Structure 1
Amino acid sequence: MKKISLTIFISGTLLFTGCKKWLDVKPEGQTTKDEMFQTQKGFRDALTGAYIDLKSDDAYGRSMTWSTIEYLARNWDNTGNYADINSLVNATYTDASVKSMIEKIYAKEYKVIADVNSILEKIDAKKDIFQEDNYSLIKGEALTLRAFAHFDILRLFGTMPDNPGTSPILPYAKAVSKDIIVLLPYDEFAKQVLADLDAAEALLKDVDPIRLYSLLELNPVLNSSAIPPVSDDYYMYRQIRMNYYAVLALKARVYNWLAPRDASNRANAAKYAQLVIDAKDHFGQPVFRLGGLSDVQAGNPSFPSEHIAAVNIYNMKTVAEAVLGEPGLLARSDFNYQDGYYYLNNLFPVAERVADARWVNMWAYKTSTGQTSYVRLKKFAQKDLDATNQIPLLRLSEMYLILTECAQNKADAEGYYSFYCSKKGIPFTAGFSAAGWEADRKNKMIREYVREFYAEGQTFFTYKRYNVATLPASWTAAYYTATVARYIVPKPDREYNYLNK
């Protein structure tokens, strides 16, 4: 088997954290690795460090949600006419600037993995130091983070899911070690992702506070008069942790990714998606709710009621305005004319957009001098500093789309999609085309993923999963073209040392 000289280890120092509330945590000092893992608090702090890396600019605080990965999907125009962005949009992976962007993503994903591996290598031997359910919670979240990061490495750098081949391609890092990590074939790599998720599911199932209390109870910022049901802040804000339902949702996503070559994967994807949809809190109310136009009108355009897992950006209002607002570069220039393809007008046809929650009050022309032909997305615009400071990683909408994709017959597919459309404000009265309904479903699903998850990093992966060579003719086929070479992003060609500093 092929090997890669990829060094992932902890040396010298690890960050530790102090906080009033978990979501406001920032690194404040250092302690040695051995000292850190002598206490429950040390393990908690190490896990918090992993979440901090997860939400960094080179990961899901920017590159893997609304920036780099969205340029690869051509969801943004090169509004500043920068040469490096032009190379990125064109997937010129040999360009030095593009290589640097990709290397930073690769390094940060494996940095998150190194963070949690440092926990996982110590936690079983220290099981006796944990109080209440902290052992199961911390280990379960660490395993889920490891699976989440590895899976996106597979989605970005792996071969095509419909024909992945049998050659070793990527390292699945399960230990903190200076040793060479063996490259695994595609299917074996995917099995490791699912094995971590199986273990995490078993650990979190009976102890995760998200199954014991409602999200309203666990988020006092949403209900300031409520008395939190737990005295420890570490158990709060589960929607910005890798919680039990995030495990199920991620399983649905993984199995759906693997579905093209195995019908049993399609059945598993549907099973786990349904489990998330059916989740109820101890009041008997759904844990998650599909967002709609009323959420946008209430100032919640990212649909926080759907967030199964998310990263918290404490200064979200400032960050969102800088990248997506008036001064930001992330914008489109073809709202009415520009490139002749009318991309957004095709993505959201005039006849369908009247009540579409992804359209109404979501897009606006810029008003700055020299920018008035550009359109910005307001999905993450904050009404105030205390609004929901979250970029979603997993959302309930995806679970309904997975059920639609995985349905075995036309009636079931239409049933799932009709319910979804009724909540999103999309007209869907005639059903899928009687002639070739599966092709119609496919085209609608591709478009739905783009519309629903714009600026959330899912478009490129949707195109790759379907091996989209060009967009459906009904919504501007000429705008986007791709070959397999665009979808298989080359791995960095140099060694990495990952130090938790």
Structure 2
Amino acid sequence: MKKRIIYSVLLILTVLTSSCESWLDVDPRTKVKSDDLFETEAGFKDALIGAYTLMKAEALYGRELTYGFIDAVTGPYAAYNNKVYNEVAQWKYLTSTPVRAQIDAMWSKMYNMLANVNNLLDNIDKRQSVFTGDNYNIIKGEALGLRAYIHFDLLRLFASAADLNKEAIPYVKNLQIEVPHVYTGKEVLALLNEDIKNALTCLEKDPIREGKLKDVSGDGFMNARQMRVNYFAVKALQARVAMWGDDLETAKAAAGEILEIADDIFPWVTTSSISATEDKDRDFTFSTEHIFALNVKDLKDLANTWFLTSGNSQQLYCQNYTMQQWYEIGRGNAVGGNDYRVNYIMKQQETGSKDYVIRKYYQPDNYKADYAKRLPMIRRSEMAYIMAECLMGVDNDKALGYLNEVRRHRGIDSDLTDASKLRDELTKEYAKEFLAEGQLFYYCKRNELAKFPYGYQSATEDNVYVLPKPDNEIEFGDYYTTDNTK
């Protein structure tokens, strides 16, 4: 097993070698390694796990696309002690060299990850005979789901949401040398839906559909389905994509399918597990509700570096005043007085400014294994929010019902009743629920909100919502003529 893991890592390192002049440099040595790796089912498993490993890099979901860059843009952090994130919060995409470097790294590493996924997909059909049981379909389905997941976030970051007819991003479906074709937003959505449809077909026999989150039999490959792109994760992605394309019926159907089984497979966090006396027994990320999460082995070090070390020049914390606004606490506002998300996930400093430390990713010593090392990618609560948004103006009582259900499971005992405030309340919920997870930016962009919650600057696609593509993509993209949909 060790040899296979080392081999897959070598493949990844080779695939990551790229240059401006070519989309991906592939030499004969790379091809040999690919052929060797994909001679066995174990090789395909290693290649898939390797893709998840790339996904967890700090330049991607290990930081920048969760609690780092993409959250700092929305302004929750008192980032004055962190020069780079302070400039991110001021949207200095073009004037700050460190900020531009972050953006360029996100673009290149996401496409590098896609190259690895496509390398797997390029080989899997012609090697179908090496697979046992349902592993061919499971691995292919996960890879297709990953390809859609990464492309969708590229679309949400680097393309217009207001005009889907505008040129958007490349959608790459093969490991290739040429600079890929750039599609419009509508064309990207169509390609996303194609990959999602095929992924769902492949994952029809995913054990998670029978409520099996763990299976330690055999080599353990089917263990921890919540930590991989499972059937319901692809369904949730389908709901996200449909919302982006304003296809509310598809979004409602996809989110509804998940919510129908959620009590059995993705149950709400219990009061006892979030309010446990000892930190090691406290479920800081509400892990039972994760539809898809990443297992990040160095999450303890990351949390210590970015959130928990007081006085650290990199620390991201939240100002007292900001938290009072976001979570509706203090100054006579009782709405958030019992909110788990602030009472148990945040910790107010006892002296000085009494700012708040975020403990969502805190990994105490002897932390309960079921809670440890989890970085949430998609939550059950988001599906409830999507249902509420789809029902606005159609059935406001049901829309309020979905919002109130989440609020009750966050300790808020006062139900919303005023339908005229549905949009405002939903926006507040996104801010509260997804702090340090990155989803607020996408929600605000999709709805063309002029300001982030309690923000002061005016947000537009020109100054904040559409990230600049790397200069080399702009320079060389004009010369690409090959269709990449085959």
The TM-score with structure 2 as length reference comes to 0.85
> CA separation in 1, counterparts of 2:349 and 2:137?
48
**Contact 1:79–1:330 (8 Å) recurs in 2:** no
Taking a change above 3 Å as real, the CA distance of residues 128 and 292 of structure 1, as seen in their structure-2 partners, is: same
- Taking every aligned residue pair, what percent have the same amino acid on both sides? 30
1:456-475 → structure 2 map (5 Å cutoff): 456-471=437-452
Q: In structure 2, do the counterparts of structure 1 residues 249 and 347 end up closer, same or farther at CA, with 3 Å as the change threshold?
A: same
- Which residue of the partner structure matches residue 459 of structure 2? 482
Q: Deviations over 1:431-475 (max 9, x none)?
A: 124xxx2xx111111110110010001111122112121256xxx
Residue 419 (structure 1) aligns with: 405
The separation in 2 between residues aligned to 1:111 and 1:405, in whole angstroms, is 34
CA distance in 2, matches of 1:309, 1:9: 32
The answer to whether the Cα contact below 8 Å between 1:317 and 1:384 also exists between their aligned partners in 2 is no
* CA gap 1:204/1:5 in 2 versus in 1, 3 angstroms: farther
Structure 1 position 380 matched with structure 2 position 361: yes
The structural deviation recorded for 1:361 is: 2.1
SS in 2 for 1:355: coil
Measure the CA separation in 1 of the matches of 2:366 and 2:103.
32
Whole-angstrom CA distance in 2 between matches of 1:98 and 1:333: 21
Matches of 1:279 and 1:81, distance apart in 2: 43
Instruction: Report which stretch shifted further, 312-321 or 148-157.
Output: 312-321
Post-superposition Cα deviations, 1:392-447, rounded to whole Å, max 9, x if no partner, equal 101101011111111121121122222222212224435124xxx2xx11111111
For 1:211 and 1:204, the matched residues in 2 are separated by 9
Deviations 1:114-156 (A, max 9, x none): 1110011111111111111111011100000000000000000
Supply the distance in 1 between the matched residues of 2:28 and 2:382 (Cα, whole angstroms). 41
Distance 1:412 1:212, change over 3 A: closer
The answer to whether 1:344 aligns with 2:323 is yes
DSSP-derived class of the 1:309 partner: strand
Q: Deviations over 1:188-208 (max 9, x none)?
A: 0111111101000000012x1
CA distance in 1, matches of 2:468, 2:350: 39
CA distance in 1: counterparts of 2:340 and 2:423, whole angstroms: 21
In 1, the alpha carbon distance for the partners of 2:356 and 2:406 equals 27
Q: For residue 392 of structure 1, what is the amino acid of its counterpart?
A: P
For residue 495 of structure 1, report the CA deviation from its aligned partner.
4.9
1:93 maps to 93
State the alpha-carbon separation in 2 of the partners of residues 151 and 201 from structure 1.
16
State the partner residue of 1:20: none
Q: Write the distance in 2 (CA, Å) between the matches of 1:134 and 1:78.
A: 46
Q: Is the 8 A contact 2:74 2:452 kept in 1?
A: no
Distance change (3 Å), C-alpha of 1:78 and 1:429: closer
Aligned twin of 2:111: 110
Q: Post-superposition shift, 1:37?
A: 1.1
Letter in 1 for 2:409: K
Structure 1: distance between partners of 2:156 and 2:434: 16
Cα distance in structure 2, aligned partners of 1:165 and 1:73: 23
* Match of residue 275 from structure 2: 297
Q: Which SS does the other structure have where 1:308 is aligned?
A: strand
- Structure 2 partner of 1:27: none
Other-structure match for 1:210: 208
Output the aligned Cα RMSD. 2.4
Structure 2 unpaired stretches of 5+: 1-19, 277-281, 477-486
Query: Structure 1 residues 365, 419: CA separation in 2 closer, same or farther (over 3 Å shift)?
Result: closer
Please say which of residues 352-361 and 396-405 is displaced more in the overlay.
Answer: 352-361
Distance in 2 separating the partners of 1:295 and 1:231: 31
Could you tell me how far apart the structure 2 residues matched to 1:471 and 1:306 are?
26
Contact 1:64 1:457 in 2 (8 A): yes
For residue 181 of structure 1, give the secondary structure of its aligned residue in structure 2.
coil
Question: SS in structure 2 opposite 1:8?
Answer: coil
Q: Distance in 2 between matches of 1:8 and 1:112?
A: 12
Q: Could you tell me whether the CA contact under 8 Å between 2:144 and 2:198 is conserved in 1?
A: yes
Q: 1:132-281 to 2 correspondence within 5 Å?
A: 132-159=133-160, 161=161, 163-206=162-205, 208-215=206-213, 217-218=214-215, 228=216, 230-259=217-246, 265-279=247-261
Deviation at 1:169, TM superposition (A): 2.3
2:396 alignment counterpart: 410
Residues 349, 356 of structure 2: 8 Å contact kept = yes
Judge conservation of contact 1:308–1:396 (CA < 8 Å) in 2: yes
Which residue identity lines up with residue 346 of structure 1 in the other structure?
Q
> Equivalents in 2 of 1:290, 1:321: separation in Å?
27
1:361-400 paired onto structure 2 within 5 Å: 361-366=344-349, 373-387=354-368, 388-400=372-384
C-alpha deviations, 1:353-403, integer Å up to 9, x for none?
2221211122223479xx865421111112335442110101101011111
1:170 aligns to what SS in structure 2? strand
Residue number in structure 1 paired with 2:12? none
Contact 1:151 1:193 (C-alpha < 8 Å) held by counterparts: yes
Distance in 2 separating the partners of 1:430 and 1:365: 27
Residues 236/251 of structure 1: CA separation in 2 closer, same or farther (3 Å cut): same
Q: CA deviation at 1:247?
A: 0.6
1:200 is paired with a residue of what secondary structure? helix
Alignment of 1:69 onto 2:70: yes
Partner of 1:22: none
Distance 1:31 1:453, change over 3 A: farther
Per-residue displacement from partner, 1:53-104 (whole Å, max 9, x unpaired)?
001111111110111111111121223152x333211111112211100011
- Deviations along 1:148-197, one digit per CA (max 9) or x if unpaired, are 000000000011x2x21423221000011112311101100111111101
Q: Which runs of 5+ in 1 are unaligned?
A: 15-29, 219-227, 260-264, 336-341
Q: Report the more deviating stretch, 31-40 or 249-258.
A: 31-40
Q: Secondary structure at the match of 2:181?
A: strand
Between Structure 1 and Structure 2, the one with more helix by share is: 2
1 CA distance for matches of 2:431 and 2:97?
Answer: 29
Which AA in structure 1 matches 2:451? T
Q: Does 1:309 align with 2:288?
A: no
Residues 10, 375 of structure 1: CA spacing in aligned structure 2 closer, same or farther, 3 A cutoff? farther
1:288 aligns with 2:255: no
Aligned-pair CA distance for 1:331: 2.9
Counterpart secondary structure, 1:250: helix
Aligned mates of 2:250, 2:163 — CA distance in 1:
20
